[in-house]
Chains A and B, each alone.
Chain A
Amino acid sequence: MLSCALTVVDAAAAVTVFLPEPLRSYCSGIAELPLTARDVRDLLTRIELTQPALYPNVCDETGAVRRHLNIFVNADNVRDLDGLQTVLTDGDVVAIIPAVSGG
């Protein structure tokens, strides 16, 4: 068990999560959240563990990213990469951005 945990930490990349304005009140008002994670799914898990008030705004009870939110790694929507399996590397900016919708 211990070696598994160490492997996870070793593989994690240091990234910055950009939060849109409506989500900042769930995260002490900050716009940029530094985290370490291997991929986008792991990043969401770390948000759930470290930011319990923020997490339900991003994912529903099933763990799915909310329908009208998009997640970008740098300039690319993860939908066009490997989805939640998109691997992160040091220095990546992961942006959570509401879709353009409504009326």
Chain B
Amino acid sequence: MPDRVMLTIGTKKGVFVAEGRKARRTFELRGPFGPGVPVYSTLVDTRGTPTMYASSCNPFFGMKVLKSTNMGKSFKETKSAPAFPKDDGRALINIWSIEPGNARKELWAGVEPASLFKSYDGGDSWEMVPGISNHEHARKWNPGNGGLCMHTIIRDGKRVHLGISTGGHYMSEDGGETFAPANKGVGAGFQPDPYPEFGQCVHKIVRHDAVPGRLYMQNHGGWASWTGPGGPRPDIGVLRSDDYGQSWRSIAKGLPSDFGFPILVHPDDPDTIYVMPLEPATRTCPGGAPAVWRSENGGDRWSRLTKGLPKKQSYFTILRDAMTIDTLKSPALYFGTTTGQLWMGRDGGEAFECLFDALPPIHNVKVAVV
């Protein structure tokens, strides 16, 4: 019977692991592992014996993949990390996502510059997936402020969704052999054409297993008052698709800002979603008052969740993978800030408490009940 809540916390200075019982009253913190090195992606792989993975993006010595088979008591480097073929001309800058694949030891990794890699042996060897990595658009994508990153990998049988900043949303219907852009209704604010075929700055995409055709997207919003070529483009930041990602519509009405990075879906209710609106200019919580916003009807209406959070003078930034939700009966929401605080919101965000107050800047938070 799963009774432990395991959090992996990727930070600017390594990966931490926090372990708590189901009641989530206290968490024991371990780490940092890969100390001093930025970690942008982690995974708690619950297939078989739980295994933790973390990307360790060493600015001096290159990429590593760290692996723990003892619940985060220690980590070891895998035998290799994703790397482009020698004649490709690109060099890996970062690993932005690690997700489980089909087979027990299969992993998928989204990297910067935006490309996809697979491992079939738990991260010891990797191969590039050419269908997207060598896509005809790949050399036309442009990096945003965070780099040209493939941050979202969603697998649904033969269907695969990828989120790329700034490349947009790409879909495969053949298990990842071939990909096509699927960005109808996804706006871009940083170019004259507000609705290009590809090149959008998608921040995160999520979906619920029970309703695979519905997806939610946090896109790069904040362009309501744009007066340059192409004119203003309000509400392009928070979107929903009901046709497996082929087309998208705004669900941003009612939010204080359509800019943000993470988006979550409740583990038991595909209609309940969460975002963390930020001021587009500063990437911080509006008015210095942090709030998670929740919709319980798929984005038609939004409510503000603030109980336990600071009321003022708290200019949090929450990055795209720094918010998650566990799968217990009354799930808790977790988010980490770039100022090093890890918050937990009980009962789906009804009441927040700070679990850790002074970690290094947090890039990534993942949770599993094991």
A binding-site residues for B, Cβ under 8 Å: 22-23, 56-58, 60-64, 66-69, 98-99, 101-102
Contact = CB atoms under 8 A, between A and B. Distances in A.
Interface string B70-88: 0000000000010111101
Most chain-B CB neighbours within 10 Å: which of A22, A56, A68? A56
B59 A68 contact: yes
A61 B61 contact: no
Q: Is the interface of A mostly helix, strand, loop or mixed?
A: loop
B86 to A, nearest CB: 6
Contacts of B90: 61-62
Contact of A66 (B62, B83, B84): B62
Most chain-B CB neighbours within 10 Å: which of A58, A60, A99? A60
B146 interface: no
A60 B92 contact: yes
B92 A98 contact: no
Nearest to B91: A60
Interface residues of B toward A: which range? 10 to 19
Across the A-B interface, the 4 shortest Cβ-Cβ residue pairs: A60-B91, A57-B61, A61-B84, A98-B60
A78 B90 CA distance: 24
Contacts of A58: 61
A23 B91 contact: no
B89 interface: yes
A64 B36 CA distance: 24
Contact of A61 (B36, B60, B92): B92
A98 B81 CA distance: 21
Nearest to A60: B91
B61 A23 contact: yes
Nearest to A64: B91
Contact of A57 (B62, B84, B89): B62
Interface in B90-128: 90-92
Contact of A69 (B60, B81, B92): B60
Given A60-B91, A61-B91, A61-B92, A66 B85 contact: no
